[in-house]
Amino acid sequence: MLNTDFEPKILSFLCNWCSYAGADVAGISRFQYAPNVMSIRTMCSGRVDPVFVITAFLAGLDGVLVLGCHPGDCHYLTGNYYAEKKMKMTKRLLDIAGIHPERLRLDWVSASEGKRFVEIVTSFINKVKSIGLLKADGEDKSLRQRLQAVKATLQTEKVRWLVGNEIDLLEKGNVFGEKLSPDKFESLLNSTVYDEYIKNWIAILLEEQAMSVGEIAQATGLDPKIISSYLVDLEQSGAVLVHALEHRTPKYTRK
Ligand code: FES
């Protein structure tokens, strides 16, 4: 059911060569659409770093729309292909973090499709209305921390490398010429993204205060045994350390 009192704040990234012109055509044709959308023109949908998306959510936006050229029409040949991979992975991470993945949408609009532009914008606004307010710039500390963990995960070299090399890993193979099947790649990406997210989430919690395994388990809702194994990794990489012992229980902090 739509919350009609709520006017979502939406940010759109429009490719210069297609959807930006499509928005222009919508204006010239006097097609009506809600004024909820702020737009940023980019040279290609592939230029939209997933970090920009999360930064927008952290700044208080409720939804992010990325519009690029139709598949096969990208001026830089594969920009929209990479945009699709990146946004898919960002949605996956939002889902892991308990944030509705449909707050982010990637779609295609050509320079002549003013009507399609309006239809996509309108349906996206309605979708975000049905999901509700996000307000990550408000009082909800846990939401902010989870988004910060998503952002940090999107910046990790491992995750960026996997997303950027998907075609090569599937079609050309690794340095030994071994190709990954799409299923194997999916499961590798899923587990990498999940592990990196949890480690970043723990690190962000420890940045604010020293915590024991039990306290981290309580804050994250994860099993203490799982937390302990991630803490071992984080300690080994030098990201966290034992801050103090409280009643013989170690409290960890961010290094
Ligand atoms: S130039 Fe439009 S999506 Fe690449």
Domain positions in the chain are 10-131, 156-254
- Residue 2 Cα to ligand 1 midpoint, Å, equals 33
**Ligand 1 neighbour 70 (Cβ under 6 A):** no
- DSSP for 176-224, please give it: T-PPPPHHHHHHHHHHHHHHHHHHHHHHHHHHHS-B-HHHHHHHHT--H
Ligand 1 pocket: which of 12, 14, 18, 113 to mutate (most atoms <8 Å of CB)? 18
Strand intervals (E) in the chain: 10-15, 37-42, 63-68, 104-108, 240-246, 249-254
Q: Check residue 38 and give its pLDDT.
A: 95
Domain 10-131 falls in which CATH fold?
Rossmann fold (3.40.50)
pLDDT tens-digit series, residues 106-144: 999 999 999 999 999 999 999 999 999 998 888 899 999
**How high does pLDDT run on average in the chain?**
93
Name the pLDDT band for 248 (thresholds 50, 70, 90).
Answer: confident
Instruction: Phi first, then psi: give them for residue 149, nearest 5 degrees.
Output: -70, -40
pLDDT tens-digit series, residues 147-175: 999 999 999 999 999 998 888 888 887 77
Ligand 1 pocket: which of 14, 66, 80 to mutate (most atoms <8 Å of CB)? 80
Distance CA 192, CA 185 (A): 10
pTM for this predicted structure? 0.92
Q: Are 40 and 14 in contact (CB under 8 A)?
A: yes
Q: How many CB atoms lie within 10 A of CB 72?
A: 9
| Reported CATH class of domain 156-254 | mainly alpha
**For residues 195, 200, 203 and 207, what is the CA-based torsion angle, rounded to 10 degrees?**
-170
**Ligand 1 neighbour 243 (Cβ under 6 A):** no
Mean pLDDT for the stretch of residues 42-69 = 97
Q: How far lies 187's CA from each of 181, 182, 230, in Å?
A: 10, 9, 19
